[in-house]
Amino acid sequence: MTDQSTPWTLVAEFSYQFDVRDLCAALDTQHISYRINRLEQASELWVEFPEQVPQVMRLLEVIDGQQRAVERQLVGGVSFQEQLRKMPVIASLLLLSMVGTAIVEWGFPLIHWLTFQDLSIVGDSIQFDTADNAMANGEYWRLVTPIFLHFGLFHIAFNGLWLWELGRRIEPLTGSLQMTVSVLLMAIASNLGQYLWSGPSLFGGMSGVVYGLLGYIWVRHKIAPRPILAIPKGLLGFMLFWLFLGMSGLIDLFMTGSIANAAHAIGLVTGMLLGGWAGRSESLD
């Protein structure tokens, strides 16, 4: 219990842009008695024992530096190479997507190793095996690998840019292990959803994962706001508009093949569920 009659010491005042969650977690770890007063445009940090002020100031300096580093990363203050080094999962996904694009363009006989179900080319047609046979043969990688297949420059450029823009906000926050698990779940759910919707067909692309990352950011930031997860509302609106436009069938009229709309929708829902779980877990800490 805290003696409410003890005078408290004001240590710092933060703007509303400062994320106090990391600071609170650090103060709790150090067993420092504190309170946060939330004002209209700012927050105040008070501590109970004046002798702890220097320790709190050191923690505040470290956390402020970390948040500024994240801010510099998002606005381009950190080199692209340095960002790649800090985000091995996103870097690996981009590299594997480029390999998948190269296979589609120049190594098509190899493509059957990456599709959701095995296939063979007979004359001018493609014959598909069933996904059940692939799973029975232990080819579980097929649940994931279609995300690396991209059909053309626009396809890889569009997905790659969104993967970078969204993924670089999540991996520094979650860590590479949790990022890997999240991407695998988004990939499996979106690929499986597309297969169940369209049946045996040649589909691929990172867009199911991209929509999963969008859903993750959208919901997690709603539940547990973080500056790194703040994306422009226009970006969110555009992506959702593009999703519904694709589902309407209008885009298919102007392109060869069709958009994997089920993968987009299932990916979005999967990401929202994962983001909700992560945000809820953080808010309870």
SS3 151: coil
**What amino acid is encoded at 154 in this protein?**
F
* CA 111 centroid distance within chain: 27
- CB–CB of 158/167 below 8 Å? no
- Evaluate whether 19 touches 67 at the Cβ level (below 8 Å): yes
Q: How far apart are CA 225 and CA 229, in angstroms?
A: 7
Residue 8 is classified by DSSP as P
Positive or negative, the CA dihedral 90, 92, 96, 99 is: positive
Q: Which pair of structure tokens corresponds to residue 171?
A: 């991996």
Residues 6+ apart with CB under 8 A from 253: none
Backbone angles phi, psi at 202, to 5 degrees: -95, 105
- CA angle at 219 for the pair 270 and 161, rounded to the nearest 5°: 70
Instruction: Give 119's strand partners.
Output: 128
Tokens of residue 211, six digits: 């929509």
Catalytic residues: 207, 264
Q: 74 phi and psi, to 5 degrees?
A: -75, -30
Strand partners, 45: 12, 36
CA–CA separation, 219 and 177 (whole Å): 20
